[in-house]
């Protein structure tokens, strides 16, 4: 049962914020760097307080909220330290980047301010009544292995060289590769309590993760990690160990960033320089995933503001997005994929934070309302006890790195497809149990 409800004063505060942001927006106060820095600090403090407050309810949620917050923290280097955080693009002028920072501040403030997670129930407890079935387990494992082998191939990390940077190599992949998130989840839920089954599952996951990392799939790997952080590790690790894991992940991520443009450096660079590399950076450049995502989001904001994306095209883009839930992109107009639309004229490496899409489709007011609703969804799913709600909720949290920072389609398509498959396996399990009971009753009656 879902118990979360916003209080009346939440709506009053939200209304006041809408009026305040509209005043800031009308008078272009964000063009004043002093105003922008003060507002950034204000949002930073509020967000950090809310992460700590809500993170106490769940270690997994704490990790997830920190991940979301990392996209906001990156802006500090650009705003306060005058560091280049993204590659040159079509909207580098401050009139565009300052407005994008302001829209970031608006989105993150509303999202974090209205987070109010209480009485978080472990997903392991929520799924405790799930009946075990070895047949369903092996079906999911076989499907996951086939997806891992067939759905993504190409030039791996160590095939890069000085002339072809990592990320520029040819990768042949389909969106099906990410469906393994829910096949691993279903396999775990139906897994008999035996180490043999767990080792098979672990091998399948490691195979999937290693292959994805070598082909540039950090997000796919992180999503699988989140599934099992929520499901298995939530109550098995203490806060000290969790913080240690966060540090290790942060370090490995920085190490990954530092060598990805030329992985062969690993073979001829002194070991101490490789290991200490993540702690050093150029004084004026710090280009990372978070910075490039800001650049991509800034592009979408700016395409609307300069009128390249007019109202008609924005409406058509939204309905094309909805159609893409059931229709392949190849059958839809280019504007169905906003992250790549007009990339030949306005440079982007792809992706965008979800407020970029929301701003294109719904404008400034829509961005405010959507961030409020997104906060509600986090609160809503944090204490669900319905098994179908729980399954979608876990996918909602685990796939956040994809739908929040790259493409919101995963929020609907990937997660609902997973929910449908979960439902079908539950029905199959009930059918198999009924056959077993009928067979037992028949033998007893003889």
The 10s digit of each residue's pLDDT in 203-229 is 999 999 999 888 877 888 999 999 999
Mean pLDDT over each residue of the chain, to the nearest integer = 86
> Number of structural domains, the chain?
1
Q: Is residue 342 part of a domain?
A: yes
Q: Is residue 167 part of a domain?
A: no
Does residue 261 register a pLDDT over 70? no
Residue among 72, 61, 68 nearest 117 (CA)? 61
Q: Is residue 269 part of a domain?
A: no
H/E element, 320: helix 311-323
CA distance 414 to 425: 17
Which pLDDT belongs to residue 273? 59
**Neighbour-count burial of 180, counting CB atoms closer than 10 A to its CB (0-12 exposed, 13-18 middle, 19+ buried):** buried
Q: Is residue 42 part of a domain?
A: yes
**In Å, what is the CA distance from 84 to each residue of 29, 87, 443?**
23, 8, 75
Which pLDDT belongs to residue 166? 43
Q: Is residue 217 part of a domain?
A: no
* pLDDT-wise least confident of 62-71, 171-180, 218-227: 171-180
Does residue 162 register a pLDDT over 80? no
Cβ neighbors of 247 (< 8 A, separation 6 or more) are none
Phi and psi of 252, rounded to 5°?
-65, -35
| pLDDT band for position 439 (cuts 50, 70, 90) | confident
Q: Which H, E and C letters describe 267-308, residue by residue?
A: HHCCHHHHHHHHHCCCCCECCCHHHHHHHHHHHHHHHHHCCC
CA distance 310 to 312: 6
Residue among 438, 428, 440 nearest 190 (CA)? 428
Q: Is residue 440 part of a domain?
A: no
Higher pLDDT, 354 or 233: 354
Structural domain harbouring 337: 8-121+287-406
Q: Is residue 361 part of a domain?
A: yes
Helix ranges, 215-288 (H): 218-228, 239-259, 265-268, 271-276
Q: Classify residue 169 as left (phi > 0), alpha (psi -120 to 50) or beta.
A: beta
Q: Is residue 444 part of a domain?
A: no
């Amino acid at each position: 049962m879902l118990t979360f409800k916003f209080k009346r004063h939440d709506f009053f505060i939200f209304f006041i914020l809408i009026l305040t942001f509209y005043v800031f927006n009308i008078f272009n106060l964000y063009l004043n760097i002093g105003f922008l820095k003060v507002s950034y600090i204000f949002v930073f403090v509020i967000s950090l307080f809310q992460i700590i407050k809500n993170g106490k309810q769940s270690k997994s949620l704490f990790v997830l909220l920190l991940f979301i917050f990392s996209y906001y923290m990156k802006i500090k280097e650009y705003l306060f330290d005058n560091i280049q955080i993204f590659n040159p693009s079509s909207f580098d002028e401050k009139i565009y980047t300052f407005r994008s920072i302001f829209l970031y501040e608006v989105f993150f403030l509303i999202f974090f301010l209205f987070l109010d997670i209480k009485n978080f129930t472990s997903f392991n407890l929520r799924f405790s009544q799930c009946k075990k079935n070895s047949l369903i387990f092996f079906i999911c494992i076989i499907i996951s292995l086939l997806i891992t082998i067939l759905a993504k191939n190409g030039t791996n990390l160590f095939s890069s060289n000085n002339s072809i940077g990592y990320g520029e190599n040819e990768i042949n992949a389909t969106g099906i590769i990410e469906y393994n998130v829910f096949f691993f989840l279903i396999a775990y839920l139906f897994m008999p309590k035996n180490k043999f089954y767990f080792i098979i599952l672990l091998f399948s996951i490691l195979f999937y993760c290693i292959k994805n990392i070598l082909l540039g799939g950090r997000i796919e790997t992180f999503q699988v990690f989140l599934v099992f952080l929520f499901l298995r590790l939530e109550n098995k690790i203490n806060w000290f160990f969790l913080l240690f894991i966060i540090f290790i992940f942060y370090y490995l991520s920085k190490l990954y960033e530092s060598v990805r443009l030329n992985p062969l450096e690993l073979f001829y660079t002194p070991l101490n320089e490789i290991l200490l590399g993540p702690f050093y950076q150029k004084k004026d450049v710090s280009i990372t995933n978070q910075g490039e995502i800001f650049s991509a989001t800034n592009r979408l904001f700016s395409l609307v503001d300069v009128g390249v994306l007019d109202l008609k095209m924005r409406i058509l883009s939204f309905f094309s997005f909805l159609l893409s839930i059931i229709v392949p992109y190849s059958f839809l107009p280019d504007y169905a994929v906003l992250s790549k639309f007009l990339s030949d004229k306005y440079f982007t490496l792809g992706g965008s934070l979800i407020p970029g899409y929301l701003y294109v489709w719904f404008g400034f007011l829509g961005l405010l309302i959507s961030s409020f609703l997104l906060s509600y969804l986090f609160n809503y799913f944090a204490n669900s006890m319905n098994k179908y709600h729980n399954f979608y909720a876990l996918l909602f949290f685990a796939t956040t790195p994809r739908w929040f920072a790259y493409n919101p389609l995963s929020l609907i398509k990937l997660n609902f497809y997973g929910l449908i498959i979960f439902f079908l396996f539950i029905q199959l399990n009930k059918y198999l149990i009924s056959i077993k009971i009928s067979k037992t009753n028949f033998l007893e009656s003889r």
